[in-house]
Amino acid sequence: MELRSQVPEGPLEKKWDQHLFDMKLVNPANKRKYNVIVVGSGLAGASAAATMSELGYNVKCFCYQDSPRRAHSIAAQGGINAAKNYQNDGDSVYRLFYDTVKGGDFRSREANVYRLAQISVNIIDQCVAQGVPFAREYGGLLANRSFGGAQVSRTFYARGQTGQQLLLGAYQALEKEIAVGSVRMYPRTEMLDLVVVDGRARGIVVRDLRTGAISSHLADAVVLATGGYGNVFYLSTNARGCNTTAIWRAHKRGAAFANPCFTQIHPTCIPVSGDYQSKLTLMSESLRNDGRVWVPRKAGDNRPPNQIPKEDRDYYLERKYPSFGNLSPRDISSRAAKQVCDEGRGVGPGGRGVYLDFHDAIQRLGEDKIRERYGNLFEMYERITDENPYKVPMRIYPASHYTMGGLWVDYNLMSTIPGCFVLGEANYSDHGANRLGASALMQGLADGYFVIPSTISNYLASNKLDAVTDDADAVRSTVQDVEERTRRLLSINGTRTPASLHRELGHIMWEYCGMGRTAEGLQTALTLIPKLREEFWQNLRVPGSGEQLNQTLEHAGRLADFLELGELMCVDALHREESCGGHFREEYQTPDGEALRNDDDFAYVAAWEYVGENVPPVLHKEPLTFESVQLSQRSYK
Amino acid sequence: MNLTLHVWRQAGPTAEGKLVKYEAHDVEPEMSFLEMLDVVNERLIESGDEPIVFDHDCREGICGACGVMINGVAHGPEIGTATCQLHMRSFRDGDVVYVEPWRSRGFPVVRDLMVDRSALDRIIASGGYVSVRTGGTPDGNDIPVPKVDADMSMDAAACIGCGACVAACPNGSASLFTAAKISHLGLLPQGQAERDGRALSMVARMDEEQFGHCTFFGECQEACPKEISIDTIVRMNRDFLRASLKRGSHAGDAGAD
């Protein structure tokens, strides 16, 4: 396996424009001869499917939900970044690029990030034209707010439902194309394998979740936009159905998996309340614009928050990071929260929580203003906790939220399998070791609306693809693999439910591969996970049959892949003997507890190749060279 | 606390369904309604039975996947709350709870509590968008929108497409869903070019999908987890009437648009 980044020559600012000119085109009449499969209908998938259909390609789009509008992008709350500089506060494409590279702790590819920053401005224009109801100033122009890791206001938003509104924009564009018949939509259909013919991705094998029917779909190229793998932790802010199956199956067919240990633990989520808990709910980072984070100065101070005077409170983010304060980046804020809780200063049941307090902001701006900014988030908080955050500070704690790792892609967003493209959270490309707030929406839409439509044309125009039919050996054997695996899951007939096994995996991952990692802990995880996997294959119970709607079977299949991915995450975390971004190895820290990077030995993308069951994966390295940005220790002080 | 559930079980779209009784033990007030069902399902699987099928995904009230009738009320007793955000502190020890799927001609049952809501997607496909292609759009600030309009548009755009409005309506009408989209786009300058055609074709599609008509019971806005107002339906009716008059035709021709 060889990693060729395909980054164009030339100065950073000109690479993408030059590349657009250099890439081959498919003429409009020929586009309708090509078939493209898009898996996933979130921001990246829906925007890609709609745009490629507008260009003239025949598109098939698949999602496991009952409607493409329900993809988990819908839950993104806070906003989307763009280098518009509408606030005249010194923003620019270069600054957004710089903030993102630095925020990612210098573990992303410069050229990709620069392109992302360039395209960010087009995204806003596109979404406004579609009728996305962004927040407005009284003069009628677009409003902005601030987000973590930046000192400018460049985040566009629609109340606390920005992801929903952007997704509905992309979904509506998709429905427009479905109406004219150039996108065929397959809801309640799950991709279970990738079809590779003569080394190229030529289709997928899916299961119709209503009937259980397993079938193949063939195409000239396959686009995976299937999101992240945060549910490997069982409890996360992801939707329950979010899974790694599509990208993990592609990995096992030859796509390198990059930086799997780079996962983001979001600092502001509602703390866990019990064992039955099925998910964790995010409280948008935008709340940190006005909320102040604190814990009692002394361990064991059990007074109610409003009886603790200012001098007995520790506003630890403001104290440790005065320049960025409560808007310090996510990895840093999460670790700081863990630290104060480890010191016994956490609040709420079990001491795993910190306060996010709006008292000062309400005094300054009035309750109405705060309600206007965050009303729906406050309501959501109250519904879950039965506490009124206008009166009592919120209690928050970090939770698994986003995965920066994903399938390795080149500058054209193509994986190491030719013809298999990967967009959005499913790829690893733009966020390095830590993603800044309001950048996931930006990346999903940049990839889908503006990058893939051009790069896929270049691929199709540059390669001669022979016709493939359903009776080709590679197609038939992939279908058989899926059928066999489904039968196997149903035939174990043990005693454990998928949920109980998944919870156990989650505990292992959170304990040993979560916010703080050590060589010893990772070694422990690497003995526990294979044991759990064995338990899974020997003692799983899935009632019902495969020829019907069977949600337990769906969960079991996804968990089987998480049980393999979890191991790779630990392998990757163990090999990366440095701390960077969301990957904090406790052995590698500065005297004051910050992440200690090792640029001499680890300034590369770790891309893992699957070489067989029970065989250690093979590591390939894509060196990261920084021409424009100076490597430095990240400081938010 | 302990509850007695009567849950609708139906093996498939054409199978006959019935209410089946289950005891839910050790329910904690902090659990969500779906987490309570998870616990019941875990026990069913452990005893070799097939678990209760229901749609769910984000579990934070935004994806619109979940939704069941709880004691005859769509999404249950709390105002402005989707089923996943309904917590068991709204119930008492010993309560008897009837759990059924959305019931509407437009939403055939898939299995147990899961229904087919694809008709809502088809209503959007009939015109619930602004026909712009990717690229070539003007600068975002070239289209100023008065804040009041943007806010009202956002109120309507908050719809999560769960279908509770249909389930709550005695006529099985999808008017609130359709009107929310017509209002979201009709309140913005970007939506004006296609405003007439949108109202005509979306209303026509709603009829074709076997949904009933609106007679202003107002049950929909009570059930809506996003508290979308029936003012949007007034807006839809006005747009529809105006467009029909402009076209010089009566409403029945709308489908030909």
pLDDT surpasses 80 at A28: yes
Question: What percent of chain A stands above pLDDT 90?
Answer: 94
Chain B CB contacts of A499 under 8 Å are 38, 42
| B-contacting residues in A 154-183 (Cβ below 8 Å) | 156, 158-159, 161, 164-165, 168, 171-173, 175-176, 178-179
8 Å CB contact of B154 and A159: yes
Q: Which CATH class is domain B117-254?
A: mainly alpha
Nearest-CA residue of chain B relative to A272?
B30
Q: Which residue has the tokens 């044309």?
A: A457
Give the A window 36-95 contacts with B, CB below 8 Å.
47, 50-51, 54, 65-70, 72, 74-75, 84, 86
Reply yes or no on whether the pLDDT at A637 is more than 90. no
Q: Could you read off the pLDDT tens digit of each residue along chain B, which spans 257 residues?
A: 999 999 999 999 999 999 999 999 999 999 999 999 999 999 999 999 999 999 999 999 999 999 999 999 999 999 999 999 999 999 999 999 999 999 999 999 999 999 999 999 999 999 999 999 999 999 999 999 999 999 999 999 999 999 999 999 999 999 999 999 999 999 999 999 999 999 999 999 999 999 999 999 999 999 999 999 999 999 999 999 999 999 875 544 444 33
> DSSP of B8-61, one letter per residue?
EE-SSTTS--EEEEEEE-S--TTSBHHHHHHHHHHHHHHTTPPPPP---SSSSS
Q: Which residues of A fall within a CB distance of 8 Å from B163?
A: none
pLDDT at B157: 98
The answer to whether A142 touches A86, Cβ cutoff 8 Å, is yes
Q: By the 8 A CB rule, do A70 and B65 touch?
A: yes
One CATH from 3.90.700.10, 3.40.50.720, 3.40.50.10490, 3.40.50.620 for A266-401 = 3.90.700.10
- Among A121, A144, A166, A276, the strongest candidate for a mutation testing the B interface, having the largest count of B CBs within 10 A, is A276
Q: Compute the distance between CA of residue B20 and CA of residue B9 in angstroms, rounded to an integer.
A: 7
Q: Could you tell me which residues are beta bridge partners of residue A400?
A: A265
Which residues of chain B lie closer than 8 angstroms to A168, CB-CB?
Answer: 157
State how far the Cα of A106 lies from the Cα of A112, in Å rounded to an integer.
Answer: 13
Cα A347 from Cα A394, distance rounded (Å): 10
Would you give the DSSP letter of residue B139? P
Residue B251 confidence (pLDDT): 46
Give Cα A68 distance to the centre of its chain: 18
**Burial, A467: exposed, middle or buried (Cβ in 10 Å; 0-12, 13-18, 19+)?**
exposed
A56 contacts: CB under 8 Å, gap ≥ 6: A28, A31, A32, A182
Provide the pLDDT for residue B253.
46
Q: What share of chain B is helix, strand, coil (3-state, %, to 5)?
A: 40, 10, 45
**Residue extents of the structural domains in chain B:** 3-111, 117-254
Contact call for A274 and B153, based on CB within 8 A: no
Q: Which of residues 327-346 of A touch B (CB under 8 A)?
A: none
Name the phi and psi angles at B74, rounded to 5: -65, 125
Min Cα distance B154 → chain A (Å) is 6
| pLDDT score recorded for residue A14 | 98
Q: How many CB atoms lie within 10 A of CB A631?
A: 13
Contact B190 A128 (CB under 8 A): yes
CB atoms within 10 A of CB A138: 9
Choosing from A70, A107, A330, A533, the catalytic residue is A330
Average pLDDT over residues A104-132: 98
Please, are residues A283 and A78 in contact by the beta-carbon 8 Å criterion?
Answer: no
**Number of Cβ within a 10 Å radius of residue A350:** 12
Q: Is A216 exposed, middle or buried (0-12, 13-18, 19+ CB in 10 A)?
A: buried
Q: Locate tokens 């005065």: which residue? A: A322
Most A CBs within 10 Å: which of B27, B63, B185, as the mutation test of the A interface?
Answer: B63
For A363-417, how does the pLDDT look when each residue is reduced to its tens digit (9 = 90+)?
Answer: 999 999 999 888 888 998 999 999 999 999 999 999 999 999 999 999 999 999 9
* Nearest-Cα residue of chain A relative to residue B79: A383
Per-residue pLDDT averaged across A539-568, rounded? 98
A476: distance to nearest CA of chain B, Å?
29
The one-letter amino acid code at A7 reads: V
Q: Residue B19's CB: how many other CB atoms inside 10 A?
A: 12
Which residue's structure tokens are 């309506």? Answer: B169
The topology (CATH level 3) of B3-111 is Ubiquitin-like (UB roll) (3.10.20)
Under 8 Å CB pairs connecting chains A and B tally to 221
Residue type at A120?
S
**Given CA atoms B35, A338, A529, A582 in this order, what sign does their dihedral have?**
positive
Flag whether pLDDT at A358 surpasses 50: yes
Q: Which residues are within 8 A (CB) of A539 and not within 5 positions of it... i.e. 6 or more apart? A: A492, A494, A495, A496
From A445, which residue of chain B is nearest by alpha-carbon distance? B134
Q: What is the per-residue pLDDT across A198-238, written as a single tens digit (0 to 9) for each?
A: 999 999 999 999 999 999 999 999 999 999 999 999 999 99
Residue A80's φ and ψ, nearest 5 degrees, are -135, 130
| CB contact at 8 A, A234 and A272 | no
Tokens at A434, concatenated: 């830590």
Please enumerate in sequence order all residues whose Cβ is within 8 A of that of A419, keeping only pairs 6 or more positions apart, or say none. A200, A201, A202, A220, A221, A222, A459, A463, A465
CA torsion sign for A448, A451, A457, A459 is: negative
Which positions ≥6 away from B256 have C-beta within 8 Å? none
Q: Does B190 touch chain A (CB under 8 A)?
A: yes
Tokens linked to A112? 């990709």
At residue A634, the pLDDT reads 82
Alpha carbons B101 and B86: distance in angstroms, whole number: 16
Average pLDDT, stretch A9-38? 97
pLDDT digits (tens, 9 = 90+) for A235-291: 999 999 999 999 999 999 999 999 999 999 999 999 998 889 999 999 988 899 999
State the pLDDT at residue B249: 56
Instruction: Write down the pLDDT at residue B252.
Output: 47
First and final C-alpha spacing in chain A: 42
Whether A330 is catalytic is yes
- Residue A141 contacts B where some CB pair is shorter than 8 Å: yes
pLDDT band, residue A149 (cuts 50/70/90): confident
> Which residue in A173, A282, A549 is closest to B129 by CB distance?
A173
What the block records as the tokens of B234 is 């007034």
How far apart (Å, rounded) are the C-alpha atoms in residues A535 and A558? 16
The arithmetic mean of pLDDT across residues A498-510, rounded, is: 97
pTM greater than the 0.80 cutoff = yes
From the list B254, B234, B148, B243, the residue with the least C-alpha distance to B183 is B234
The answer to whether B26 contacts chain A (CB < 8 Å) is: no
In order of A196, A352, A534, A616, B60, the CA distances from A521 in angstroms are: 37, 21, 20, 19, 33
